[in-house]
Amino acid sequence: MKYYNSIIETVGNTPLVKLNNVTKGIKGTVLAKVEYLNPGNSMKDRIAIKMIEDAEKAGLISKGGTIIEGTSGNTGMGLALAAIAKGYKCIFTVSDKQSQEKIDILRAVGAEVIVCPTNVAPEDPRSYYSVAKKLNADIPNSFYPNQYDNLSNRLAHYETTAPEIWRDTEGKITHYAAGVGTGGSMCGTAKFLKEQNPNIVTVGIDTYGSVFKKLKETGIFDEKEIYPYLTEGIGEDILPKNVEMDVIDHFVKVTDKDAALMTRRLAKEEGLFVGWSCGSAVFGALEYAKAHLKEGDVMVVILPDHGTRYLAKIYNDAWMKDHGFLEREFSTARHIVERRNGKAALLTISENTPVGEAVRLMNKEGISQLPVSDKEGKEIVGSLIDARTLSRLIDNPELKNSPVKDIMEKPFTFVGLDNTLDVLSSLINKENPALLVRDEAQNVHIITQQDLLEALTV
């Protein structure tokens, strides 16, 4: 009889499938490694088993223990399957931008799920990273795999994913492309492939709002690159230990919208019902391929997960329209800026300007908030808000002669050009009544509640 002792023995050996329709006009062959055919419907099954088995060998968890992990959903599913096979409990922390389907699936396989806010710094005690670490510290016989920094993640792909690609392409692969999140699938696979053939070109796919591309190209971890985005499972606001920049030759950035539309195309045109980051990977890979692939080249792209995780999002027309991805004008920060046709250049005031003069400027221009620049006028260092400035002047009228820097508040939040209206509106509140955005020429623009209202009613 041929059978498996548990579901986790079925992980791996996923097929390569040629892309035929979305690749029109591209030279060479583009193959997709379809990772949703793993039992947990994602490539994260591979790393889940590896991390748990390595932890068992190291004595970090024993029978009856608890696995605790911060996850975008897919790693949690892989860990849950391993836990079922091995007799562990699971607690997962997820960010509130993750799809409800992912959360429901984790609970369906017996895991406890704790939803944490997205728009907080990684070190904030409310972040899904921090909550997972605290639970691990508080619960006896618990193991925190930490897929970001656990090198078993990268090793899993080095030992399984990469050899499968090398075997199935008979060593003819010339290009490898994958989304970069934790870095495991990109860097573990790339390292193995380059050991077989140093001429293989590796292309990492990043998202706008993530630090990776600029970090690779300049060596600078630029916090100005970090802002909210919607695509799940790709990009980071931290540098995981599994990210090994030396094995990534190039990065391509992909917008939320381009990723979502390509995901839907893969389902309709290739019969591949995949997840959102798969669209990112294919769109970015094809952008690179258009310029660089030659006849005879073979590019392999990783498709990390399955479309069932995104039924209420990118496979839902209403959701896509609400987010400006289908048939809607002026639905992003970019559209708001472009609609001004060069008008309404950002008005700022120097931090050394007297408060009284700043108030007169706000009254003259009819504005309720004003960004504050440094004395050279190069950087935004703070902000003035009319109601709060008025309150301080009432308490102490002499403040009118003080420099703005004595009473200014923190700068308005910077966002990306392709952030959609729902993201922009969620970031505007009493504490942060306006947003700032840089265009391609690095000019700074302000976005207010009035701009959002106009965009919604056009």
| pLDDT bracket for residue 322 (50, 70, 90) | confident
The pLDDT assigned to 42 comes to 95
pLDDT digits (tens, 9 = 90+) for 395-440: 888 888 999 899 888 898 888 888 888 788 888 887 788 999 888 7
Specify burial of residue 432 (Cβ count, 10 A radius: 0-12, 13-18, 19+): middle
pLDDT surpasses 70 at 344: no
Can you tell me the mean pLDDT for 27-42? 96
> From CA 205, how far away is CA 217, in angstroms rounded?
14
Can you tell me the mean pLDDT for 183-202? 97
The pLDDT assigned to 207 comes to 92
The pLDDT assigned to 270 comes to 98
CA angle 211, 214, 218 (to 5 degrees): 135
The pLDDT assigned to 392 comes to 86
Give yes or no for a contact between 195 and 267, defined as CB atoms under 8 angstroms apart.
Answer: no
What dihedral angle (degrees, nearest 10) is formed by the CA atoms of 130, 133, 137, 143? 170
The pLDDT assigned to 341 comes to 66
Give catalytic residues, as residue numbers.
Answer: 44
Can you tell me the mean pLDDT for 313-320? 89
| pLDDT bracket for residue 342 (50, 70, 90) | low
pLDDT digits (tens, 9 = 90+) for 160-181: 999 999 999 999 999 999 999 9
Which residue blocks in 306-354 are alpha helix, DSSP H? Answer: 317-322, 333-339
| Strand boundaries in 58-214, DSSP class E | 66-70, 89-95, 112-116, 142-143, 175-179, 201-207
DSSP letter at 405 equals G
Place of tokens 């060593």: 171
Q: Taking the CA of residue 238 as centre, how many other CA atoms within 13 Å lie in the half-sphere pointing to its CB?
A: 13
Specify burial of residue 184 (Cβ count, 10 A radius: 0-12, 13-18, 19+): buried
pLDDT surpasses 80 at 330: no
The pLDDT assigned to 327 comes to 61
Can you tell me the mean pLDDT for 283-294? 96
Model pTM score: 0.71
Task: Please provide the average confidence, as pLDDT, over all residues in the chain.
Answer: 91
pLDDT surpasses 80 at 391: yes
> From CA 238, how far away is CA 180, in angstroms rounded?
12
Residue of 70 and 55 predicted with greater confidence: 55
Can you tell me the mean pLDDT for 251-257? 94
pLDDT digits (tens, 9 = 90+) for 71-126: 877 899 999 999 999 999 999 999 887 778 888 989 999 999 999 988 888 789 99
CA angle 108, 153, 265 (to 5 degrees): 65
| pLDDT bracket for residue 377 (50, 70, 90) | confident
Can you tell me the mean pLDDT for 121-135? 90
Q: Please, which contacts does 196-199 make with residues 24 or more away whose CB atoms are closer than 8 Å?
A: 196/166, 196/171, 197/171, 197/173, 199/174
Domains of the chain: 7-42+154-312 (3.40.50.1100), 44-143 (3.40.50.1100), 333-457 (3.10.580.10)
Neighbours of 115 (CB within 10 A): 16
From the list 170, 452, 238, the residue with the least C-alpha distance to 324 is 452
